[in-house]
């Protein structure tokens, strides 16, 4: 019988477990790590300034082993319909997402029970939560007094315990080797003909990746068509991919998409809808919400009071993310985006 069961060992779950266990070693915590293949979660692997700021507040410094080459100081914004390109300064850290997640997980104290497996069912019985976990050696059942869902966009906990109408895109991504010199180090790609969201290219340790967010229906054909259109724009084919991956990505569109949970069941990170609708940046919100939830647990063990504290602590974060929604509508509007890019506001002219 655990005091807390955490589903998901990404940034949100790992930070929550590490912070709570460090402050209260006697607390029995179960952390379920659903990604044990070493590849990590599908991600562009750029650490945005907001995430850097959160790490600084936690007094954490990145080890060199988490960084990838090259480091990036600008984004090339490409609109494929009018064939318009602008450059904007950005200060991201290029990183290996699997190494980053492993580093955060390494901070979890030995007092936490870390289980490699996937939780595929959870039920509430008599005020307790029973979890069924599929591991390599079979299916196991565990019980906990309360539950933390840190299990990403397609959260089992969110779908099981809350009314969930949040929009989700299918994010698809391919990795390429070979001649990638003409592929931008980092590009944000818009193409109204294939997606109402954004795509990206990133160079990383001698490889290039292309990924994007697409509506579920016809997502693979839309990805292939946009890839072909981008290749035409770049004047270079990507070649055969050495790796393909995909996942769901949350896109909050209204206030009620941000769900911190309820007494006894708490959500953090992308499972709570804590992700930027305009850029899909969610690492900063995952780390911060994990930290805030741990602080809420330390104020007392009453589930209702924990939830009230957590809801109050996350209010500034929810307001900040809610303000990203109008920005998303502006950037994803072909007309408004065209006006912004034509104006050249805040863009950088490159030397030839």
The total of structural domains in the chain comes to 1
Does residue 349 sit within a domain?
no
- Per DSSP, the residues of 247-274 read EEEEE--SGGG---EETTEEE-GGGGT-
- How far is it, in rounded angstroms, from Cα 156 to Cα 6? 12
Instruction: Dump pLDDT digits (tens) for 317-349.
Output: 999 999 999 999 999 999 999 999 999 998 988
Average pLDDT, the chain: 94
Output DSSP code: residue 216.
S
Residue 294 structural domain = 2-343
* pLDDT band (50, 70, 90) for residue 180: confident
CA distances from 238 to 201, 227, 247 (A): 11, 8, 21
- How far is it, in rounded angstroms, from Cα 58 to Cα 291? 9
Does residue 153 sit within a domain?
yes
CATH label of the domain that carries residue 152? 3.50.50.60
Does residue 350 sit within a domain?
no
Nearest 5°: the CA angle 109, 97, 225 is: 150
Does residue 352 sit within a domain?
no
Residue 181 has what pLDDT? 80
Find all residues with CB under 8 Å of 351, minimum gap 6, and list them. none
pTM, to two decimals: 0.95
Output DSSP code: residue 117.
S
Q: For 116, how many CA atoms within 13 A lie in the half-sphere containing its CB?
A: 8
Instruction: Dump pLDDT digits (tens) for 80-95.
Output: 999 999 999 999 999 9
- How far is it, in rounded angstroms, from Cα 187 to Cα 190? 10
Please check whether residue 6 is in contact with residue 32, taking contact to mean a CB–CB distance below 8 angstroms.
Answer: yes
Does residue 216 sit within a domain?
yes
């Amino acid at each position: 019988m655990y005091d807390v069961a955490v589903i998901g060992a990404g940034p949100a779950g790992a930070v929550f477990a590490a912070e709570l266990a460090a402050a209260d070693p006697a607390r029995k915590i179960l952390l379920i790590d659903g990604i044990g293949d070493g590849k990590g979660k599908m991600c562009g692997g750029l650490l945005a300034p907001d995430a850097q700021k959160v790490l600084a507040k936690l007094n954490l410094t990145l080890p060199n082993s988490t960084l990838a080459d090259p480091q990036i100081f600008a984004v090339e914004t490409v609109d494929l319909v009018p064939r318009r390109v602008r450059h904007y300064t950005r200060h991201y850290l290029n990183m290996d997402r699997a190494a980053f997640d492993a580093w955060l997980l390494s901070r979890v104290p030995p007092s936490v029970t870390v289980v490699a497996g996937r939780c595929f069912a959870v039920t509430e019985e008599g005020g307790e939560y029973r979890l069924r976990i599929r591991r390599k050696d079979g299916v196991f059942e565990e019980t906990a007094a309360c539950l933390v869902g840190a299990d990403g966009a397609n959260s089992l906990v969110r779908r099981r315990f809350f009314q969930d109408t949040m929009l989700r895109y299918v994010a698809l991504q391919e990795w390429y080797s070979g001649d990638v010199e003409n592929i931008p180090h980092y590009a944000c790609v818009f193409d109204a003909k294939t997606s109402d969201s954004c795509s990206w290219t990133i160079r990383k340790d001698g490889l290039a990746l292309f990924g994007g967010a697409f509506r579920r229906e016809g997502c693979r054909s839309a990805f292939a068509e946009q890839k072909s259109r981008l290749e035409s724009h770049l004047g270079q084919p990507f070649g055969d991919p050495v790796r393909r991956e995909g996942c769901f990505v949350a896109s909050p569109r209204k206030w009620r998409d941000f769900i911190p949970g309820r007494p006894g069941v708490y959500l953090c990170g992308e499972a709570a809808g804590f992700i930027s609708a305009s850029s899909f940046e969610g690492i900063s919100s995952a780390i911060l919400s994990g930290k805030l939830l741990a602080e809420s647990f330390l104020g007392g063990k009453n589930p209702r009071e924990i939830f009230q504290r957590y809801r109050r602590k996350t209010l500034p974060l929810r307001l900040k993310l809610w303000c990203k929604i109008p920005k998303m509508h502006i950037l994803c509007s072909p007309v408004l985006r065209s006006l912004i890019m034509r104006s050249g506001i805040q863009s950088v002219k490159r030397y030839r």
